[in-house]
Structure formats: structure tokens, C-alpha cells
Structure 1
């Protein structure tokens, strides 16, 4: 069975059985009909995935790998905050008439900062350090910029990546590990989507920096299941997990900025049916 399925099932059961409810409290999100969107939540969920063993895609339902990679590259590679540069419609609710989501996500990635080596944006700084200072304990990104929050149409949920390089015995290559910090997550709508995105990012950065992939650690401050999602989650985690797919990344790509969603494939990816018409709280 897929290890990602086990992690997901255990997390969801823990939230439903041991989580706390926000019902009746003052909450910001609303359903389309205007009623408050309450949640069952757990604080401080930490999930670990060894990317050297298998790719963490759910088989309980399909994760659209090309769409989630497209969104990840929209932020990390195109460094865009405009939905017209994105092939899916997941950000439409937060975009203005020109397609902008404000000074959020990709906008923060393209801002150049002064370092002693010169001006670089956060992505270029990560790649520079992985290639030149791999044992640095300062290789990280952060898009939760307080001075710009008032100009963001949505505050960043997945807001920080920290990269850490290790050396295994008898290995001729360094190993790239990463921690994703997320302040909040809608478990049904976004959990495996984010996991797959940042697993792919680690694979891509490892390849262009001539490293191997290691561990991906996902830290979620507020992992929640919305009230209207609970029956869907219960049906989902009752399914029998299937074997994990094999991950393929185009080995010919040596520059991070040359990757496209077509350079990523999940081979032998068998899944249960998709859950459709998931209501999204805004």
C-alpha cells in the first residue's frame, strides 16, 4: 500500500476522533450560501515522507499531478501572482479583475534582496546556496511578509520551505531534505496536493543541484476538516489503499527554470474514484 495513504488515513482519523471543533465560534470562512464554515482541527500535525523510497501520492483518490506541478511552478519558477499565467482555476476566487492575487505567493518569490554575493530573489538564493554552500543551515524561503499582508488577496498558507543537506555513508552524492511549514490546511481539498507539489520541488532541486532526494517533512499548524467535508473524508479513508506509483522526472533537465509539468509523470498510478463537488469555503 502507498505510505502516503497510511499517513493520510491516520491523520484524518486523529483529527475526527481527537480534534477540537470551532462550531459556534467566530470564524472567517463562509460557505457559498453565507453560513459559517466550521472545522474539526488538530494543532501541530507533522508528517514525514522518505522520497528515496516512494512518491507520496494518494491512491485513495487521484491527485492531478500535472495541475499541482503547474501551480507549484507558477509560484516557484514563473514567480507570478496572476492567474492568467496559471492553467487551472483554483485561484479564481481570490483574483481581481486583472487576474492578480496581490502581493502574495509568486510575487514574494520574485522580489530581489541584497546579499553579500549580490542581489537575488529567494528561489535563486536557494539554488545558489545548494550549489555553493550545501551545508548551510540558512537555506530557506519565507513568503509571509507582514508589511505586504494588507495587499494580499489571500494570506499564504504554505509559507516557508527550509532545505537541509546531509551526506550518507558510502554515497557519492549529497542528500536534499526539506521542511514545508504551513499555517493552515483544508485537509480534504489541499493536503495531498501540497505534499505532491513540494515532493516534486525537492526532486527538481535535487536533480539540478546534482543531489539525491531524502526526507520531506510537512508541518501543519492548523490541520482541519470542514464540517461539510467530514462525510466525504470518512468515505475516503474507508477505501483500501493501492500500491504507490513510480515517479519519473525528465533527467535531461539541468536548469530549474527549464522544467515544465510535462517533465513529471507518475507511472503505474492506480487510484480509487475521485471525490467530486467538494464545497470550498472562502
Structure 2
């Protein structure tokens, strides 16, 4: 069975059984009817996924992998903060009349800094370092820029990625690993979406630098289940589990900036029914 399912079920049970509640506290999020959106939460959840073993898509329900890839390309490849460059509508409620979400996400990745080798934006510097000094311990992106927070329509949730290369005895190629840091996560709505997004990002970057995509370490500071999601989660984690799908990239594409969602190949994805009309707190 899918290891991603097993991790998800274990994480949800631990939150529901041992988490703390924010009920009655002063909270920012609200439901569409104006009521406060309280959560049950765990502090400091860490999950590890090895892409050499399987692709970490849930089978309890379907994760829209191409839509997830589209958003990750919007941020790291197109480096956009405008929803008109995105095929889905997941950011519509945070966009202004021009389509901008402010100085968030792709805007931050596009910002250039000066190095001895010249000027690079954040993603270009990652690719440069992995090509020239792959065993550096300084290869990362970070979207949590304090000076720009007041101009972001939503503070970054998944805000930092650190890349780390290993090469053990017997490894034919170097292995590219990733740590994803997330300050806050809506477990029902976003957990596997983010996991799959960054697994795909890891695969694309590994392809670009001719490495093997290895481990994704996902660190969530505030892992929470919203009060109106509890019953949905309880039903979801009791569903049957299936083997993980086979997910790969078009073998003819090497350059990170050439990938499109059509280059994601998804095979044998068996899953339970979709969960529809999940209420989203804003």
C-alpha cells in the first residue's frame, strides 16, 4: 500500500487524538459565514518521503497532480504572482483586480541578488550551485521576506526549500534531497497537494542537474485540522488504500525551464472518490 497514505493516516490520527485546540482563542481565519475557523493542531510534524521508493500521492482520494505541478511551475519556473498565469483558480480569492497576489511566492523567487559570479534570482542560483558546487550546504530558496510581508495578500505557508546532495557507496549518480519548511498547513485541503508539488519540483530539478531524486523531508510547524473538517478527515482515513501510482517526467526534457504539465506522466493511479466542496477558511 502507499506509504504516503500510511503517513497521512498516522499524522491525522495523532492530531485528532493528541492535538490541542484553538477553540475560544483569538484566531485570524474565518469561514464564509463569518464564524471563526478553529483548529485541532500539532506542533512540529515531520514526514519523510523517498522518491526512489514511490511517488507520494495519496490513494485515499485523488490528488490533481497536473494542477499541483502547474502551481509549482507558476512559482518557480514562471516566477509569477499573477493568477492570469495560472490555469487553476485556487488563488482567485487572494488576487486583486489586476490578478496580482502582491509581493508573494513567484515574485520573491524572481528577485535577484548579487554574487561574485553575477546576478541571479533565487531559482537560477539553485540551479547554478547544484551544477557547480553540488555539495554546498547553502543551496536554498526563501520566500519569507519580512520587508515585503505588508504587500503580500497572503503570507507564504510553504516558504523555504533547502537542497542537499548525497552520494553513497554504490550510488551511480548523486542523489538530490530536499527539505520543505512550512509554517502552517491545512492538513485536509493542502497536505498532499504540497507534498506532491514539491516532489515534482525535486524531480524536475534533479533531472536538470542529472541527479537522482531522493528524499523529501517535510517539516510543518503548525499542522492543523479545521473544526469543520474533522468529520471529513475521520471518514477519509478509514478508506481503503491502494499501491502508489507511477509518476515520471518526459524523458526527452532535461532543462528545468522547458517542463510543462504535459511532461508529467501518471500511470496506474488507483484512488478513492474525491472529497468535494471542502469548506476553506480565509
Q: TM-score, normalised by structure 1?
A: 0.99
Matches within 5 A, 1:1-282: 1-282=1-282
Q: Is the 8 A contact 1:207 1:251 kept in 2?
A: no
Q: Is the 8 A contact 1:59 1:271 kept in 2?
A: yes
Q: Cα distance, 1:170 vs. partner?
A: 1.8
Q: Give the secondary structure class of the aligned counterpart of 2:88.
A: coil
Please give the alpha-carbon distance, in whole angstroms, between the structure 1 residues aligned to 2:6 and 2:72: 24
**Structure 2: which 5+ runs fail to align?**
none
**Structure 1: which 5+ runs fail to align?**
none
Q: Cα distance, 1:172 vs. partner?
A: 2.4
Please give the alpha-carbon distance, in whole angstroms, between the structure 2 residues aligned to 1:224 and 1:34: 20
Q: Is the 8 A contact 1:159 1:181 kept in 2?
A: yes
Please give the alpha-carbon distance, in whole angstroms, between the structure 2 residues aligned to 1:179 and 1:221: 13
Q: Give the secondary structure class of the aligned counterpart of 2:150.
A: helix
Please give the alpha-carbon distance, in whole angstroms, between the structure 2 residues aligned to 1:248 and 1:232: 31
Residue by residue over 1:15-38, the C-alpha shift from the partner in whole angstroms, topping out at 9 and shown as x without a partner, is 000000000000000000000000
Q: Cα distance, 1:107 vs. partner?
A: 0.3
Q: Is the 8 A contact 1:65 1:265 kept in 2?
A: no
Please give the alpha-carbon distance, in whole angstroms, between the structure 2 residues aligned to 1:42 and 1:267: 34
Q: Cα distance, 1:213 vs. partner?
A: 1.1
Aligned length: 282
Q: Cα distance, 1:265 vs. partner?
A: 2.0
Q: Give the secondary structure class of the aligned counterpart of 1:184.
A: strand
Q: Give the secondary structure class of the aligned counterpart of 1:221.
A: strand
RMSD across aligned C-alpha pairs, in angstroms? 0.5
| 4+ residue segments displaced more than 6 Å | none
Q: TM-score, normalised by structure 2?
A: 0.99
Q: Cα distance, 1:171 vs. partner?
A: 2.1
